[in-house]
Amino acid sequence: MRLSRYFLPVLKETPAEASIASHRLMLRAGMIRQQAAGIYSWLPLGYKVLKKVEQIVHEEQQRAGHIPLLMPTLQSADLWRESGRYDDYGEEMLRITDRQGREMLYGPTNEEMITDIFRSYVKSYKDLPLTLYHIQWKFRDEMRPRFGVMRGREFLMKDGYNFDLTVEDALHAYNRHLVSYIRTYERMGLQAIPMRADSGPIGGDDTHEFLVLAETGESEVFYDSAVTDIKLGKREIDYDSVEQCRAVMEEFTSLYARTDETHDETLFNEVPEERRRAARGIEVGQIFFFGTKYSEAMGATVQGPDGKPVPVQMGSHGIGVSRLLGALIEANHDDKGIIWPEGVTPFHVGIVNLKQGDDAADAACEALYKSFEALGLEPLYDDRSERAGAKFATMDLIGLPWRITVGPRGLANGVVEVTSRRTGESEEMTPEMAVEKIAKIYAGL
User: Model-level pTM greater than 0.75?
Assistant: yes
Residues 6+ positions from 17 with CB-CB distance below 8 Å: 23, 34
Domain extents in the chain: 3-338, 349-443
| Per-residue pLDDT reduced to its tens digit, 275-308 | 999 999 999 999 999 899 999 999 999 999 999 9
379-382/349-353 β-pairing: parallel
349-353/402-406 β-pairing: parallel
| 104 within 8 A of 98, measured Cβ to Cβ | yes
Nearest to 405 by CA among 345, 371, 360, 365: 365
Residues 6+ positions from 151 with CB-CB distance below 8 Å: 38, 142, 145, 218
| Per-residue pLDDT reduced to its tens digit, 230-262 | 999 999 999 999 999 999 999 999 999 999 989
Confidence of residue 19 (pLDDT cuts 50, 70, 90): confident
Lowest mean pLDDT among 22-26, 56-60, 213-217, 391-395: 213-217
Confidence of residue 90 (pLDDT cuts 50, 70, 90): confident
Nearest to 159 by CA among 41, 315, 48, 325: 315
| 96 within 8 A of 161, measured Cβ to Cβ | no
d(CA 128, CA 169): 9
With pLDDT > 90 as the criterion, what percentage of the chain qualifies? 89
| Per-residue pLDDT reduced to its tens digit, 61-70 | 999 999 999 9
- HEC string of 356-387 equals CCCHHHHHHHHHHHHHHHHCCCCEEEECCCCC
**Assigned CATH topology for domain 349-443:** Rossmann fold (3.40.50)
Look at residue 17 in the predicted model and tell me its pLDDT.
81
Q: Report whether CATH 3.20.20.140 matches the domain 3-338.
A: no
